[in-house]
Amino acid sequence: MINIATLFSRCLSPILLTTIALSTVAVSAQAGNMYIYKDKVGQVLLTNVNPSGSFDKFTKKVKTTYYKNSNNYGSSVARNYGNSAASNSGSRNAYDSYIRDSSARHGVDPGLLKAMMHTESAFNPNARSPVGAQGLMQLMPATARRFKVSNAWNPAENIEGSAKYIAWLMRRFNNNVEFAVAGYNAGEGNVDKYKGIPPFKETRNYVKRVMSRYNSLYKNDSALSGNTMSASNASVDGGAMQTVSYGTSSNGSSASYANSAYAALR
């Protein structure tokens, strides 16, 4: 954890105090618990860790404010997943027509569908996992039966069943894409149990890979948009098209923290 500590003199003006707090907390508001301490003469310490070392004189805790860590997968916030390299598979574009058709029928973003296929099977229609998952998007036999896939080794059927499942997950998790992706990997029951992305290393890595590939490779892939739907992050709920936003979050938490810090010091 980054140790961010800022001293404020008790004689600082309210305007200057708020300005300094805003500039400091823009970084530190992502760090979990934030504390405000005072020493005996009224100097103030803002920090995201307990005072130690040269800050031991700050013994009076004035306020604690909790901000969700940027790695908290229980929340639905935009994250920077970095960039992914394009697939070197010779069949990486061979199934785009199936992706476009199935995504249009079920209201799934084709870019998301392809990012998941890339991650699941690396575009290998004959892929089989050690636990029995089959085909391009690695459907388990029970999932294939659930979504009426009679032959999981048939790419068209497999992709159709996978699109149905993803659309179902999107509806279940109120269009939270990360939760839907986690549910595809770990089961919707685990997402419910942990109220977010489960704390399984495999699942968290899977979500990271899918979202990285989606954002850097397939989100704006014109070959996937065709005339069926744009790659504009859409899903269907109850037959109505709804937009899903992946935009960056605002800095409202920073401003909120600065205001609460100033209020505590008045």
What integer pLDDT is reported at residue 43 of this predicted model? 77
**Mind telling me the catalytic residues?**
120
First to last CA, the chain: 29
What integer pLDDT is reported at residue 36 of this predicted model? 78
178 in Cβ contact with 207 (< 8 Å): yes
47 in Cβ contact with 37 (< 8 Å): yes
Per-residue pLDDT of the chain in tens (266 residues, 90 and over written 9)? 444 444 444 444 443 344 434 444 443 333 345 667 677 777 777 776 667 666 777 777 665 554 443 344 454 444 667 677 888 778 899 999 999 999 999 999 999 999 999 999 999 999 999 999 999 999 999 999 999 999 999 999 999 999 999 999 999 999 999 999 999 999 999 999 999 999 999 999 999 999 999 999 999 898 998 643 333 343 333 333 333 333 333 333 334 444 444 454 44
> Distance of CA 201 to CAs 48, 57, 113, Å?
26, 41, 22
3-class secondary structure, 175: coil
Domain boundaries, the chain: 5-72+250-265, 96-243
* Two structure tokens written together for 90: 């010779």
Q: Is 103 exposed, middle or buried (0-12, 13-18, 19+ CB in 10 A)?
A: buried
Cα separation, 120 vs 42, whole angstroms: 58
Cα separation, 164 vs 178, whole angstroms: 17
83 in Cβ contact with 73 (< 8 Å): no
* Two structure tokens written together for 20: 């300094």
Cα separation, 111 vs 239, whole angstroms: 20
Sole residue written with tokens 């109220």 = 195
> Distance of CA 171 to CAs 108, 123, 174, 216, 237, Å?
11, 26, 5, 25, 6
* Two structure tokens written together for 129: 């996992």
3-class secondary structure, 61: strand
Express each pLDDT in 47-74 by its tens digit.
766 676 667 777 776 655 544 433 444 5
Q: Which of 106, 242, 112 is nearest to 178 (CA)?
A: 112
Sole residue written with tokens 């860590």 = 69
Q: Give the CA radius of gyration of the chain.
A: 24
**CATH class of residue range 96-243:** mainly alpha
